Chains A and B, each alone.
Chain A
Amino acid sequence: MLTFLLNDDEIRLTECGASDTLLDFLRIGRRLTGTKEGCAEGDCGACTVLLGRLHEGRLVYEPVNACIRFLASCHGCHVVTVEQLRDPDGGLHAVQRAMVDHHASQCGFCTPGFVMALYGLWMTDPAADVTAIETALQGNLCRCTGYAPIVRAAQAVLAAGGQAGDRIERDRAAVTARLAAMQGARVEVARDGADRAILPADVDDLAAVLDDHPDATIVAGATDVGLWVTKALRPIAPAVFIGHLDGLKRIEVGGDHIRIGAGVTYTEAVPLIEAEFPEVSDYWHRIGGWQVRNMGTIGGNIANGSPIGETPPLMIALGARLVLRRGALRRELPLEDFFIAYGQQDIRPGEFVETIVLPRRGDARVAAYKISKRRSADISAVAAAFRIEVAGGVITAARVAFGGMAGTPRRAPAAEAALTGAPFSAASFAAAGAAVLDDFQPLDDWRASAAYRRAIARNFFRRLWLEQAGGDQPVRLARAAGD
C-alpha cells in the first residue's frame, strides 16, 4: 500500500506502477489540472509542486517536477499543488496576489509552476535577494513576460513576509505526525501485477532487495530515469526507489575525510559545498534548476555514468573514492576508475553506490568551471575541476578532471604532468593549457564543436591562473546588482 498526503487528503493506493508519474496522477487521476505538463523532462517547471518529506524526522518542503517524479516515490510525503494555495475563503495567497499585482502572468501556462517555486522560496529563504530569486527560478521557463514582473513579484512578496501564519507552518506538527506514521516498513506496489516498485525500509533492506533483484533499476532522484520513462518509454521494473532513505543522505565531516551518502541531493550538499569548497558554489548552483537540485543526487549523477554529468569531474578532481556495496560486502575505488568507457561503469549486478569519500581540502586550491549555451540549467559543453597544491612557489600536486571532452568524465594526465613540479606561474598554466589538448579528442555535437571544446579547455587554465594569481582585473562575469 502506497500512502501519502495530497493537499489535505490522505491517499492510499494499492495499484501503482513503478513508471506512474506524479503529474499523470494529479492531472488524470485527480483532475487537479492546475499543475501543467510543458516538457515532461524536468526542464520547464510548469509541473512544479511542493513536496514535503521527513528528513531525519524534520519536515522539509521543496519544489519538485511532478512530470519526472514517480508516484511511488511520494510514499510518506506531502504533495502540495497550486490548488492548495488559495485561502479556504477564496482569497489569494500572498504569492499569488503579488503575481497579479505585478502583471506577472501573460499566457498563464507557466504561472502555477512559478507560483509554486516562489512559494517554496518565500517559505524556505525569506531573506532571498535577487540572486537567490534568480537561482530559485532556474527551473521555470516563461516565454511571455521576460521574467521582469515575476522577479518584481518575488521581491514584493519576500519583502512582505508573513510566513509564520502560512498554512504549511500552521499544519507543520500535524503533517509531521501523519507522515511519521507512514514511515518504517518496506513498501511494494505494482499495477496489474506488473511494473513493480519497491521502497526498501532502510539501507540494509536496500542491500537485501538488490541481492534478490540484481537487475532492478535503482531510482534515486529520477532526474535521469524519469526521462527513460517519459521520453524513451523504457520499462524500469522492477524499480527500487532509494530517495527516501535517510541512511543514504548523511554527510559526515571527519578530520581527514568527508563521507557523503549517495542519496544526498544537490540541494542537501549546498551547506557542505559552501563551507568546504566555497569556490565551487557558483558551479554547484548551475547544475540543473532548483527542482532538479532538490531531486537529483550525487550518487545518481555518478552511477548513471553520463559523460556530461557535472558532479564527476568535480569529485574526481577533489580526489573522491567511491564505496560500492552488495549485501554486506563493500569495496572502494578511486572515482575515476569507476568510469570505464562510454556507457560502461565498474558496477556489478546487485551493487549500489553507497558513499562518496572525499579527502579534506587542507590548503589545496580548488576551482570548477562549466561552459554551456545558457548560463544556468543547461548541460555543460565542457566542465572542468582543479585541485592544486602550491608550496614555496612550486605546484606540488595537481588533479584536473574534465567532463564533456570524452566518452567518460576523466582526468587530464598531460595537463596534470605539466603542472606538477612546475613553478606557480603564468607560463606553467599556459603549458598545461597546451598540454590538455593532448589529453582529449572531443566530439562535435549540438552543445559544442570539438574546436570550441578544445579552445575552452585550454582557456580554463588561463582563467585558473588569473584567478589564482589574484590580479586586480575581473576574471569572471559578475552581474550588476540591479534592482
Chain B
Amino acid sequence: MKDASDTTIRGGVHQSVPHDSAVLHVTGQADYTDDLPEPVGTLHACLGLSQIAHGRIRSMDLDPVRAAPGVVGVLTAADLPGHNDVSPQGRGDDPILADGVVQFWGQPVFAVIAETRDQARRAAALARIDYDPLPHLLDPIAARDGGAGYVTPPLTLTRGDADAALAAAPRRIDGRFAIGGQDHFYLEGQIALAIPGERDEIALHVSTQHPTEVQHMVAHALGVPAAAVVVTVRRMGGGFGGKETQMNLFACVAAIAAKRWRRAVKLRPDRDDDMTATGKRHDFVVDYSVGFDDDGRILGVTGDYYARCGFSADLSGPVTDRALFHGDNAYFYPAVRLRSHPIKTNTVSNTAFRGFGGPQGVITAERMIEDIAYALDRDPLDVRRANLYRDGDLTPYHQPVEDMILPRLLDELEASSDYRRRRQAVLDWNARMQAGDGPIRRGIALTPVKFGISFTATHFNQAGALVHVYADGSIHLNHGGCEMGQGLHVKVAQVVADAFQVDLGLVHVTRTATDKVPNTSATAASTGTDLNGMAALDACGQIRARLVAFACAAKGLTPDQVRFADGCVHMGGESMRWSEFIETAYLARVHLSAAGFYRTPKIHWDRTTGRGRPFYYFAYGAAVTEVSVDTLSGEYVIERADILHDAGRSLNPAIDIGQIEGGYVQGVGWLTSEELWWDAQGRLRTHAPSTYKIPLAGDRPRVFNVARADWSENREMTIKRSKAVGEPPFMLGISAFQAIGMAVASVANYRENPRLDAPATPERVLMAVERLRR
C-alpha cells in the first residue's frame, strides 16, 4: 500500500515496474496474432517453396494442388494484382512469389489457399515443379570469386592513410575471420491475418516490427493507396529484427488472397518453412590488417568485410554499413580504411538482427586486439585500455566521440569481477593442467562494447504518438513503436504517467496501428523508447499546456502556480484529484487529446563522403566471462559472467537488466551453439530447433552478476536521460567467445591466438586444440 506521506506516483520513470503484459503472459491470456478469434470462414494459406538453390522454372504443375481436399485456390506470380516486390529499399529485387527464376532453396514459388491450415500444407506438398538448374554460389568468398557481384552499393570509410600507417608500423598482423550468421528464432513465428473490407480496404493483423512498411507493401501488392490498408499489432512473440522486413511477404500473400476470395486469410508458416524462407543475421568473412607498436597501440587498420547477403538487397546495405560503423568498436584507429562488400549469394536474403551488422564489426575489432595481445604476450585488457577512444577522437566516419565512459566502467568492472586475480588463477590452473596433461582448461576475457544509437538512415529517426485523456481521467496511449517483449510499452507508459504525475495504472497501452499513428519507423535500432517516449512526452506536454492554461484561467493563477504531483493537480493553495480535475476540464471544453511528434536532433550522414554524425550518442558496456573447456571433446561451459552496462538514467531498471541478461545469452548463442549449415546443394539443414540450437537454461552462466552503470547519464537530451538498451548488450557475449579462445590457446602455452571462427562449436574448438597440439 502507498504510504500517505509518499508523494511519488506508482510506476513513474526510473522505477522497476513489471512488463505491462506480465500477468497476461503467465496466465496465457496475452493474445498473439494466432490467438485472435478468426472471422467466420477464415481461409488458410501455405507457401510452396523452391527445392533448388538457383534455376529457371521449366514447368509448374499445380493441378494436384488445386485438386487437393479443401483447396480454394492457388496463387503464382502471374496471379498477383500489383507489384510483385517486397524490397524494403524499393529495388524490385525481392519478389513475393518467384517469377521464372528461383534464386535460393526455399524461395516461395506459389501459395495455396484452403479451408484449413492442415489442408493447405498437405496440398502444397503435391506441387510438381521442374527446374533448369543454374550454377549456385553459397558463401561470400566463393561468390566474390565467381563474380556474383553486389546486391547493393558498397561503402568505404576512410580516415588518414591506412596503407602508409600499416607500412610504417613496427608490427603488422594480417588475418581472416569467418563469422557465422544467426537465425532469430523468435518463439512466435511469422504470421499474418488479412481481413478484406469494402471497396479497396483491407485490415491486417501481423506479427511485425514495422506496421507502416507492411501497410505500404500491401498497398503496392494490391495496387491500392496506403490509406486503404490498416495494419495492427498488439504484441509479437519476439522479433529481434526478424520482423522488420521479413513479414512483408506473408502479409502480402494473405492480403492478396483475402481480396481475391473475399474471405479472411491467415498465413502462418510451419517453423521449418519460416526458418528456410526468411532472412537471418549476415555471415561475414573479414580480411583485416592491423599495424601496431610494441606497446600494443594501434597505428593503422584496414578491413574488407564480405557479407553473405543472399539473393536480394533487403536491408543488406545498412547492415553492411553498420558493420563498418562498428569496425572500431571502442578503439581509436589513427589511420583506417574499412570497405564493405555486400555480396550476392544463392541463399535466403539476410536481414536485420539485433545489432544489425554491428556485432560482426565489433567482434572483428576484438579479434584484432586479441591478435595484438597474443603477439606481445600481454593481457588483452591492457591492449584494450591502450587503444580506447578519448573524447574528441574521430571515428572512421569522422564523428567525434564525446561521451566516452569506458575507462571508469572498465575500472569498476575489473574490480567488481576481480578480473586480474581470476585471470592469474586461470593461468595457474592451465599451467597445472598442462603439466599433468589434464583435459579441462579455463579461459577468461573482458570485452567492452561501444554502440552507436540512431538509425543510420537519418529520416527514420522520427516518431509519433497519440494520447487521449478521457473524461474519467483514464489515459489512452498509442505510439508508433511495437512491443516484442522489450518492455517498450511499459516504458513509454511510465513516461506518460510521469508527465501527468498519475499512477501507471491509469495509463492504458493500446495496440500499434497504422490508422492511429501514421508514417512510423520500424521498432528497431534500439530506438523504440528514445523516439516514441519523446513523441508521447510531446503529446502529454500539449495536453498539459492546455490543462495549465485552463487552471490559470479558472483560478486566476500564473502557470508556475499549477503543479502536477502525486496524482493531483495543485493550483495555488488548492488541490484536486486528477480525475476530478480532468472532469472539470472536460466540462470546460478543454481539448484532451494530442498527437505528439519527435525527430532526433543533431544527426546527419553523407554516405557518399563517408562523413557525418550518424549517431546521436553511444551506449557502452563490458563483460567478463570465464569458461571451462574440455580439450578432449571441445565442449565448454560458462562458469561465470560479470556485466556492467550503461543504460543511462534507466527508465525501468528491471526491464533494462532483462535486456542485458537476455542480450548477453543471445550473443553467446550466436558465437557458440547456433550454426547455420548449408549442404552443397544450397539447402539449409539447420532449420528447426531440432537442428538449430539456441541456448538453454543450463547454458546461462550460473554465476551471473549483472549491473547497470547507474551513475551514467546520457549527455544528450534523450528521454529522461536514459540510453537505448536493446542491441548493445548482445555484443557482451563476445567475452565468452574470447574466453573459449584463451582456454584453447593454453594447450600451446598461448604461443598463438587460436583464431577460432564463429560460432565456436565444440567441433571448431576441438579442431583448434588438435591443430595447436600438432
Contact = CB atoms under 8 A, between A and B. Distances in A.
Interface of A: 24, 27, 31-41, 43-44, 46, 81-83, 85-86, 92, 95-96, 99-101, 103, 105-112, 115, 130, 133-135, 137-138, 140-151, 230-231, 233, 369, 371-379, 381, 445-449, 451-452, 455-456, 459-460, 462-463, 466, 471, 473-477, 479-483
Contacts of A463: 439, 632-633
Interface string B632-669: 11111101100000000000001101100111111000
B29 interface: yes
Nearest to A382: B633
Interface centre among B22, B184, B239 (most CB of A within 10 A): B22
A483 B703 contact: yes
Contacts of A369: 633
A473 B658 contact: no
Given A143-B666, A452-B766, A463-B439, A107 B188 contact: yes
Contact of A44 (B24, B689, B706): B689
B31 interface: yes
A103 B697 contact: no
Contacts of B752: none
B491 interface: no
Contacts of A449: 763
B689 A41 contact: yes
A475 B693 contact: no
Nearest to A145: B662
B11 interface: no
Nearest to B687: A446
Given A107-B188, A109-B188, A446 B686 contact: yes
B688 A41 contact: yes
A54 to B, nearest CB: 27
Contact of B695 (A100, A149, A374): A374
B639 A107 contact: no
Nearest to A458: B632
A143 B694 contact: yes
B26 A112 contact: yes
B135 interface: no
B378 to A, nearest CB: 27
B26 A105 contact: yes
B499 to A, nearest CB: 24
Nearest to B763: A452
A373 B675 contact: yes
Q: Secondary structure at chain A's binding surface: helix, strand, loop or mixed?
A: loop
A142 B187 contact: yes
B238 to A, nearest CB: 4
A472 to B, nearest CB: 8
A379 B693 CA distance: 10
B164 interface: no
A149 B438 contact: no
A233 B700 contact: no
Interface centre among A103, A106, A463, A466 (most CB of B within 10 A): A106
A38 B29 contact: no
Given A39-B689, A452-B763, A452-B766, A44 B697 contact: no
A92 B26 contact: yes
B22 A373 contact: no
B696 A149 contact: no
A286 to B, nearest CB: 10
A481 B702 contact: yes
B188 A36 contact: yes
Contact of B440 (A81, A141, A451, A474): A474
Contact of A146 (B23, B25, B664): B664
B240 A143 contact: yes
Contacts of A479: 628, 637, 639, 702
A371 B184 CA distance: 25
Contacts of A24: 118
A149 B701 CA distance: 12
B699 A375 contact: yes
Contacts, number: 286
B35 interface: yes
B693 A108 contact: no
Q: Please provide the 8 A-B residue pairs with the shortest distance between their CB atoms, ordered closest to farther.
A: A34-B28, A482-B702, A109-B237, A107-B485, A108-B25, A146-B665, A106-B485, A43-B689
Contacts of A466: 439
Contacts of A148: 661, 665, 700, 704, 706
B185 A141 contact: yes
Given A143-B186, A150-B697, 19 more contacts: A34-B28, A34-B29, A36-B188, A38-B271, A43-B690, A83-B28, A96-B23, A96-B26, A105-B25, A105-B26, A106-B658, A109-B32, A115-B28, A147-B697, A147-B700, A377-B696, A446-B675, A477-B440, A480-B702
Given A108-B485, A479-B639, A99 B658 contact: no
Contacts of B29: 34
B674 to A, nearest CB: 8
Contact of A477 (B186, B637, B696): B637
Contacts of B438: 473-475
B270 A40 contact: yes
Contacts of A459: 632-633, 766
Contact of B698 (A37, A92, A375, A476): A375
Contacts of A31: 37
Contacts of B237: 36, 107-110
Nearest to A462: B632
Nearest to B35: A33
B599 interface: no
Contacts of B704: 148, 482-483
B485 A39 contact: no
B372 to A, nearest CB: 30
Contacts of B634: 371, 452, 456
A458 B439 CA distance: 14
A103 B487 CA distance: 11
B31 to A, nearest CB: 7
Contacts of B686: 446
Nearest to B675: A373
B486 interface: yes
Nearest to A150: B697
20 contacts: A33-B34, A34-B27, A38-B189, A41-B690, A83-B28, A95-B26, A103-B19, A103-B655, A105-B485, A106-B486, A107-B187, A108-B22, A109-B186, A146-B661, A374-B693, A463-B439, A463-B633, A477-B628, A477-B637, A479-B702
B460 interface: no
B484 interface: yes
Nearest to B638: A479
Contacts of A147: 665, 695-697, 699-700
Nearest to B237: A109
Contacts of B25: 99, 105, 108, 111-112
A142 to B, nearest CB: 7
Nearest to A371: B633
Contacts of A109: 32, 186-188, 237-238, 485
Interface in B417-450: 432-433, 436, 438-440
B635 A375 contact: yes
